[in-house]
Amino acid sequence: MSRSSTRSSAPEPEAGPGSAPGSGRGPGPGAAAAGAAAARALRGARPASFWLDQPDAPAPVARLHGETTAALAVVGGGFTGLWTALLARERDPSRDVVLLEGRTVGWAASGRNGGFCSASLTHGPANGFDRFGPEMPALHRLGRQNLDEIAATVARYPIDCGFERTGELTVATRDWQLAGLGHAADLAGRLGERPVLLDAAGVRAEIDSPSYLGGLWDTRGCALVDPARLAWGLRRACLDAGVRIHEHSPVTGISRDGPGLVLATPHGRVRAAQACLGTGAYRPLLRRLSHYLVPVYDYVLMTEPLSASQRAAIGWRHRQGAADLGNQFHYYRLTADGRILWGRL
């Protein structure tokens, strides 16, 4: 899930006189005090996925035992696998589909992200125009169509995942980033979009941070979701549609079997006419795919629910997702129960 539509590709300026002598971007004299403050703030925190650690998480379905057959075998119970299985049954309700998941549905990256559901297929228009040129209008159209269809799926089934199409606010925290906001607005205009360009007062009227110097609000190109509940809702939709799901059934190998395929798990195997691999950043079952995959991870903190006075001080009435313009950027959003998720990539 992409964070921002206006990420800068330019190198950031070197640190100024406040940096430690001889250290370039190294910590300044207040680093020790800041570290101690951070340690105090994190006292009592525990390492867990907030989204997955919910008391009403669905109980796992049975692992695969023995041999079975299917027209389509889907490997991986994240968003790729779940949507593939569901679409396959929607297009042909008679098609026999089985989905194999190594742990539980949504356990990996699909249940451990910031919950930003972005329409951008190119990580923003600047990156898209730089790399895809004349194809960018079509990619933009497909991305918006994709987000529209995700929203329609959530409404049709219905899936209780806190889906909020509030858009994304990209903020400048350095003077040199302001020109990038204007350039991103111009590129969005070439694609028929009209994001809201905000000065310092305008962006602070949305989210009141003294570090914000300007902002660009794409009001329709991003939705916020509870990603675990989205995965669990798709799981239910798949089961209701007749998809056979087996959790705790990691696929350990895939081989040809005449015109079809055999997928092996620790306790069984599936003979399938076709297979779809949706294992994300995990080692692919086909070695030739490893050259196309680069795992990327980030760090996330979740606060306690904010008090009414804390929310009032911040503002954030429109509940949009937010991200800054750093190349290693920060992103943040509100949850349904009024917490702030902070992430850094």
Q: Pairing state of beta strands 222-224 and 244-246? A: unpaired
pLDDT given for residue 19 in this prediction: 35
The one-letter amino acid code at 94 reads S
Give, for all 345 residues of the chain, the pLDDT tens digit: 444 333 333 334 333 333 333 444 455 667 888 889 888 888 888 888 999 999 999 999 999 999 999 999 999 999 999 999 999 999 999 999 999 999 999 999 999 999 999 999 998 999 999 999 999 999 999 999 999 999 999 999 999 999 999 999 999 999 999 999 999 999 999 999 999 999 999 999 999 999 999 999 999 999 999 999 999 999 999 999 999 999 999 999 999 999 999 999 999 999 999 999 999 878 889 888 888 888 888 889 999 999 999 999 999 999 999 999 988 889 999 999 999 999 998
Q: What is the pTM of this model?
A: 0.88
Q: Is 136 left (phi over 0), alpha (psi -120 to 50) or beta?
A: alpha
- Taking residue 306's Cβ as centre, other Cβ atoms within 10 Å add up to 18
Spell out the domain ranges in the chain: 49-115+226-280
Q: 294: Cβ–Cβ under 8 A, 6 or more apart, which residues?
A: 281
pLDDT given for residue 23 in this prediction: 40
Best CA proximity match to 75, nearest among 107, 98, 100, 96: 100
pLDDT given for residue 186 in this prediction: 97
Please tell us whether the domain made up of 49-115+226-280 is placed in CATH 3.40.50.150: no
pLDDT given for residue 38 in this prediction: 83
Reported as type and span, the H/E element at residue 340 is strand 340-344
pLDDT given for residue 4 in this prediction: 36
- Report how far residue 244's alpha carbon sits from residue 265's, in angstroms, rounded to the nearest whole number: 15
Radius of gyration in angstroms for the set of CA atoms belonging to the chain, rounded to a whole number: 22
pLDDT given for residue 28 in this prediction: 64
pLDDT given for residue 46 in this prediction: 86
What are the φ/ψ torsions at residue 137 (nearest 5 degrees)? -60, -40
Number of alpha helices (DSSP H) and beta strands (DSSP E) in the chain: 8, 15
